[in-house]
Amino acid sequence: MEFSLTDDQQQLRRTVREFAEAEIAPHVMEWDEASQFPSELIPKLSEMGFLGVIFPENYGGAGMGYVEYALIIEELSRVDGSIGIIVAAHNSLCSNHIYKFGTEAQKQKYLVPLAQGKKLGCWSLTEPEAGSDAGGTRTVAAKEQEGLPGSRRGEPGRFDQWVINGSKTFTTNGHYADVCVAMAVTNPEKQHHGISAFIVEKGTPGFRPGKKENKLGLRASDTSEVVFTDCRVPAENLLGREGEGFVNCLQILDGGRISIASLGLGMAQGAYESALRYAKERKQFGKAIAEFQAIQFKLADMATQIEAARLLTYRAAWLADRAASSPDHRTRITREASMAKLYAGEVAVRVANEAVQIHGGYGFIKDYPAEKFYRDVKLCTIGEGTSEIQRLVIARQLLGK
C-alpha cells in the first residue's frame, strides 16, 4: 500500500498553498464581512487550471485526477472555504455532470469553456420542499412542439423545446454562473425515474437568479435561489437520458462528497494551524499555553483526527481515479465517498470548536481566524447530504440495498 504523494502532487500542493496565501489570504475577512463574491479571483483560478481540474485536456481541462483535485480544494479551503466551495461546485457538480452524461456536442459547447474557466457553472437540485428527499422535486419541464417547422400541435414524438417552471434553492454560484445544470420532473408518474437534467444558459428568457442567502459562514461564496418561469430551452439541452436525471445525480454526488470532504479537511487544517500557532504565542501563568497538558491533549486529538480524515478523503479520491479509468466508467464509490464526507465534515466541526476553545475569548472575535473557521465548517455536515443521510447511505451500502 502506498500512502505518499508523488513528487508532482507534492509540488501541486506547494503551488496551491502559495497561490492561496498570496491571492486569497489578504482578502478573506473583507470578502466575508461584505458577503462579497470574489469575481476578481475567478480569472486567476482559471489561469491556474483550478476550474477544469478533473477533465481531459482535449476538453479544455487540466487533465488531473481526483487526488490532485482533493489537494487543490483542501489547500484553497485551508485559507478560505468560500473559495474551495466555489471551485468545488463548478468542477464536481455542474461541469462533471456534463462530462459524465452529456453528448459530444454538449461537451464541446458547454464543458470546454467551463473547463477552460471562461465560464462559471452551478448545479441546482435542492428545492424548498425537496432537500434530503430530492425525489420530492416540484420543478417541472414539459415538451413543447410549437415552433418546429412542419409540426402540428399534438403530433407525437416531435418537439423542439422544453418549458421549465419552478425554483431551486441553495445553489452555489447561482448569481454568477454562466451555465446551470438543473433537475426537473418530466414524468411525475415515474417518481425518481421521472426526473431529468437540463442545461440552461445565463440570459435564457424565463431563467434568473432569485434571493441571495444571508449565511452563517462561507459568506464569500454565492448561495441563492434560481427561478424558472416559462423558461424555454432547446430539446438538445436535455442532459443524459430523459427520466434518468435523478439517478445520474446520485453518481455525481459521489464526486461531490469527495469535494466536501476535502473542503472540511482543508478548513480543519487551517483551524488547527491557527490554534497551534496561538498556543505557542499565548502566555499564561508565565509560560506559553502550549506547555499545559490540557492544551497539548487538545492539539494531539485535533492532529490525529485530521490525519484520519485525510486518509479517508485521499482513499476515496484514489478510488474515484480508479473508477474513472475503468472500461465502462460505471464503478461506484458511494460508500467510500460518503464515509470520507461524513467523517471529515464532523472532524472539521470538532477541530474548529477546539480551536475557538484554545483561543479563549480571542476565539470569539474576528481578529483571529478561529471564529471564521468555526462558522464556515458547519456546512460540511449539511451540504451534499447531511451527516444523517451519509449514515443512511453507508448503512444501505453495507446491507447491500
CATH class of 7-116: mainly alpha
> How confident is the model at residue 240, as a pLDDT?
98
The sign of the torsion formed by the CA atoms of 332, 333, 338, 341 equals: negative
Sequence-ordered strand ranges (E) for 237-337? 238-239, 283-284, 287-288
Interval 124-150: pLDDT, tens: 999 988 888 877 899 999 999 765 544
> How confident is the model at residue 146, as a pLDDT?
60
Q: Which residues are catalytic?
A: 384
**181 SS3 class:** strand
Is the pLDDT at 118 greater than 70, yes or no? yes
Q: Which amino acid makes up residue 353?
A: N
Give the whole-angstrom CA distance, residue 12 versus residue 75. 10
> How confident is the model at residue 192, as a pLDDT?
87
Interval 143-157: pLDDT, tens: 997 655 444 444 555
* Mean pLDDT within 272-291: 98
Residue boundaries of the structural domains of the chain:
7-116, 121-242, 246-398
> How confident is the model at residue 158, as a pLDDT?
61
Q: Which residues, in sequence order, are CB contacts of 326 under 8 Å at separation 6+? A: none
Interval 55-93: pLDDT, tens: 999 999 999 999 999 999 999 999 999 999 999 999 999
The H-or-E segment that residue 233 falls in is strand 223-234
Mean pLDDT for the chain overall: 94
CATH superfamily of 121-242: Butyryl-CoA Dehydrogenase, subunit A, domain 2 (2.40.110.10)
> How confident is the model at residue 147, as a pLDDT?
55
Q: Which amino acid makes up residue 328?
A: D
> How confident is the model at residue 150, as a pLDDT?
43
> How confident is the model at residue 151, as a pLDDT?
44
Distances (CA, A) of 297 to 289, 293, 305, 309, 361: 12, 6, 12, 18, 20
Is domain 246-398 given the CATH code 1.10.3720.10 in the classification?
no
* Mean pLDDT within 272-298: 98
